[in-house]
Structure 1
Amino acid sequence: MSESIGGSGPGMKLHTKILIALVVGATAGIAANLTMGGDDPTVVFVNTYLAGPIGQIFLRMLFMIVMPLVFASITLGVAGLGDLKKVGKVGGKAIGYFLATTFLAASFGLFVVNTFRPGEGLSPEVKTELMATYAEDAAGKIEAQATGNFGINTFVEIVTRNPVKSAVDTDMLGIIFFALVFGAALTQIKPERAEPMIKFLQALEDVVIKIVGMAMKIAPYGVAGLIFGVTSRFGFALLKPLSAYVLVVMGALLFHLFVNLSLILKFVIGINPLLYFSRIKGAMVTAFSTSSSSATLPTALRAAEDGLGVPPKIAGFVLPLGSTMCMNGTSIFEGITVIFLCQVFGVDLSLGGMAIVIVMSVITAVGAAGVPGGSIPLLVGILTMMGVPGEGIAIVLGVDRILDMTRTVVNVSSDISSTTFVAKSEGVWDASMVPKEAPTAA
């Protein structure tokens, strides 16, 4: 599922409010920069006593729930895999396909963003000022990367010695490892013993989701404050790389959908990509309009069963699982966003750091599935781990809506392809079984 932050109630949608807030904050900030200058006492006063505090309250609410969100969602996801023992190799094949394609997507995203480098349109002076303004507390992490300590040692330190200390220090890698081990252990004990803990974690996740909702209610004000603070200091300097970022993300998502996935369809699954996309176009439209893999699930099931001829017993098992685990589009988005903001803030990642970004993009894409707005706090956590200030998320938050819609299409299209892969590998489907005519609209 995509991490849509759009509301569904009456009145203006939340994503529309955030976009308006971005425009208002950026326009006001640029106007202040051009007319008064970033160091003008009035601009400094507004940033210090109004825009800055509002933005920081929003950010702190996100930071507040990062660790419980990561721990609860990933532990529950792993614990839920215990049921796959009952379905044997079908579940294993499905999960293998999910992880392999998501890893491919994340790696491709990093290749694209490092090739086009959309965040490098800033002068060294602007980058230096960005870091001096927003990232004094990240200096230690940047220094560790520069000295090579962010390489092999980071992989060793993933195995946390103290999960409580990792939570306090916002060591997300340590918390993720602990959550993976904790969830795996829950599958190894008697169900009646594991049930109380699972219920507790489900309740914890529900509470965290509500807190995310509370934070997103003030998101328009927080975004306006944060983006005003950036643009009032740097004017137009950030707008060019932001436009390049949108083009890079959109290009990577569409390339993965129509080239990478088409190659998998053609040479691994054995179906004509044009036929495949023509039979799932209803699900793709639903995914684009709802920004939700879960909301698209009924349409996706119909596309798989009626449009592609996948047996219901395969589609009915694989697709619901894929809607939370097969996150091709989300992993591309997260990886590109992290590297883009590293480029904007002048943070150079080592090869080990790049590898960590790929792994984190895969794990957090799966772990955040089904959580409205879940990618936002997780991205903030990854950014700070890489030495980028959390305020950097404001640069991309206002343009996320169209990216969200597009990456959900990629997620859903990959989900449906997983049903054909599993069905073919089980010998119960091949491309000749695709109905001659596409299903009519319901």
Structure 2
Amino acid sequence: MMTTTKLSLTARIVLGMIAGIAVGFFFQWLLGGAEERRLTLLGMSLPLKAFFVDGIFHVGGEIFIASLKMLVVPLVFVSLVCGTCSLSDTSKLGRLGGKSIGLYILTTALAISLAIGAALLVGPGNGVEMQSDATFDVSSAPTLAQVFINIFPSNPIQSMASGNMLQIIVFAVLFGLAVALSGQAGERVAALFNDFNEIIMKLVTLLMNLAPYGVFFLMAKLFTTLGFETIASLLKYFLVVLFVLLFHGMAVYPTLLKSLTGLNPLIFLRKMRDAALFAFSTSSSNATLPVTMETVNKKLGVNNSISSFTVPLGATINMDGTAIMQGVATVFIAQVFGVDLTLSDYLMVILTATLASIGTAGVPGVGLIMLAMVLQQVGLPVEGIALIIGVDRLLDMTRTSVNITGDAMVSIVVAKSEGEFDERVFNDPRAGLKDETIDFHHMRN
């Protein structure tokens, strides 16, 4: 009797990604720059680009992203309420906040320092004479005082509707504390929220089964429209950013994990594959947040009381990948425009970018706004951003994977220090895998 081997979720996502890239290249070759090329099918003349690229691929990818984003607010709110109301020691919140924010700031400072060092060593902008017709409009970043004011919601329902993550975190923590201090009424509410949390995590598992199809649509559209002639003209810049991103994600994080916890970094990287692939295809830490949360809880062994705080906070303020882009881009733009930056200028870039990773949280287009702030701080022309916009989309995918890997690493370190970490789950290669696939036939029976 023949037995069929079921592919793992990781294998299915990789297949979807490879198939999407292949289909995208095929359509790029087929269209050949001709927007109006048509396909005759069953007597109907269909415009190829409008029907496939802007139609099927676009709609499929957007539905997948929207489905993931749909879960973000309820997942963050419910899991954070559950985690907070389960804390027996309310002073623990202060320790969690201090450790998490401190580690996120440390990794961001390391990231941008590494990026500046690599860019100075390679010199991606030396000898480059580029002209660009693209423009970049600088959005004003909030002042430091306004940042602190904006953390606290005046209307929590509006905060949830707009997806303001810091305000949702603050309200959920306060709500969870109130539940913990409310006696029997609080116990009943806590039990209800724990049930909600189980249901939402099951919904995450359902959506993960659709991930290979969503990834296929996203990759197919991206690689149909990706202009590789732009990458060729910026090859040195592209490769420097890519190298530093990979080095930070696959060397710096594992080194920190090993030195701070003694855990095996290879197990950590292996268990982060699914979440990293999600992040790569969606280019959004927030959209990937449900998958990151499930990975940290079920595969890495972090207790929900820790991950419900550290993961949403990291998705909001941890910008290591963006900081790397800023470091290399600052050096690149300075070299292209022939501006010599001093040591104090580079130190100012490190300080500004590190603080801006928290200060601009929740601002749309955060990466480029942060870069504009950094360039203005050291007197470089903001118009230089237009030079790198063409390759930023592909790099954005990689830096999102780096960001969520940092969120998971910090969650493990904080959980281990608080005694809320299950090392048996971390070392179990099958942990979390049993829930990856839903048996729909069993559900019907």
TM class by shorter-chain length? 0.5 to 0.7
What's the CA shift for 1:235? Answer: 5.9
Of the three residues 138, 150, 155, the one matched with 2:148 is: 155
Q: Which residue of 1 aligns with 2:357?
A: 357
What's the CA shift for 1:250? Answer: 2.5
What's the CA shift for 1:418? Answer: 6.2
Change (3 A) 1:188 1:214: farther
Of the three residues 76, 80, 87, the one matched with 1:77 is: 80
CA contact (8 A) 1:67 1:172 kept: no
Change (3 A) 1:15 1:76: same
Aligned-residue CA RMSD (Å): 5.5
CA contact (8 A) 1:113 1:340 kept: yes
Of the three residues 53, 61, 73, the one matched with 1:58 is: 61
Q: 1:283-334 deviations in whole A, cap 9, x for unaligned?
A: x333333325556558xxxxxxxxxxxxxxxxxxx8786677677xx77996
Q: Which residue of 2 aligns with 1:219?
A: 215
User: Which amino acid is the alignment partner of residue 206 of structure 2?
Assistant: K
What's the CA shift for 1:14? Answer: 0.8
Q: 1:212-254 deviations in whole A, cap 9, x for unaligned?
A: 5535532112222123223278464576555433311232245
User: Which amino acid is the alignment partner of residue 355 of structure 2?
Assistant: A
What's the CA shift for 1:150? Answer: 5.8
Of the three residues 403, 412, 416, the one matched with 1:415 is: 412
- Give me the whole-angstrom Cα distance separating, in 1, the residues matched to 2:9 and 2:67: 29
Residues 55-204 of structure 1 correspond to what in structure 2 (within 5 A)? 55=58, 57-63=60-66, 65-66=68-69, 68-85=71-88, 97-113=99-115, 128=134, 142-145=138-141, 149=142, 151-189=144-182, 190-204=186-200
Q: Which residue of 2 aligns with 1:434?
A: none
Residues 244-393 of structure 1 correspond to what in structure 2 (within 5 A)? 244-253=240-249, 256-257=252-253, 280-281=263-264, 284-291=265-272, 292-293=295-296, 297=300, 335-339=319-323, 355=355, 357-358=357-358, 384=365
More helix by share: 1
What's the CA shift for 1:402? Answer: 8.8
Q: Which has the higher contact order (CA 8 A, sep 6+)?
A: 1
Change (3 A) 1:55 1:237: farther
CA contact (8 A) 2:81 2:173 kept: yes
User: Which amino acid is the alignment partner of residue 220 of structure 1?
Assistant: F
- Give me the whole-angstrom Cα distance separating, in 1, the residues matched to 2:94 and 2:325: 36
- Give me the whole-angstrom Cα distance separating, in 2, the residues matched to 1:334 and 1:219: 24
Change (3 A) 1:179 1:193: closer
User: Which amino acid is the alignment partner of residue 8 of structure 2?
Assistant: G
- Give me the whole-angstrom Cα distance separating, in 2, the residues matched to 1:401 and 1:144: 23
Establish whether residue 210 from structure 1 lines up as the match of residue 206 from structure 2.
yes
- Give me the whole-angstrom Cα distance separating, in 2, the residues matched to 1:360 and 1:70: 20
Change (3 A) 1:177 1:412: closer
CA contact (8 A) 1:21 1:223 kept: yes
- Give me the whole-angstrom Cα distance separating, in 1, the residues matched to 2:325 and 2:50: 23
CA contact (8 A) 2:257 2:409 kept: no
User: Which amino acid is the alignment partner of residue 355 of structure 1?
Assistant: L
What TM-score comes out, normalization by structure 2 length? 0.54
CA contact (8 A) 2:58 2:217 kept: yes
Instruction: Report the identity percentage.
Output: 14
- Give me the whole-angstrom Cα distance separating, in 1, the residues matched to 2:391 and 2:61: 13
User: Which amino acid is the alignment partner of residue 107 of structure 2?
Assistant: A
CA contact (8 A) 1:286 1:296 kept: no
- Give me the whole-angstrom Cα distance separating, in 2, the residues matched to 1:253 and 1:11: 19
Specify every segment of 5 or more residues in structure 2 that has no aligned partner in the other structure, as ranges. Answer: 1-5, 39-46, 273-294, 334-348, 370-389, 420-426, 428-445
CA contact (8 A) 1:79 1:186 kept: no
Partner SS, residue 139 of structure 2:
helix
- Give me the whole-angstrom Cα distance separating, in 2, the residues matched to 1:332 and 1:72: 15
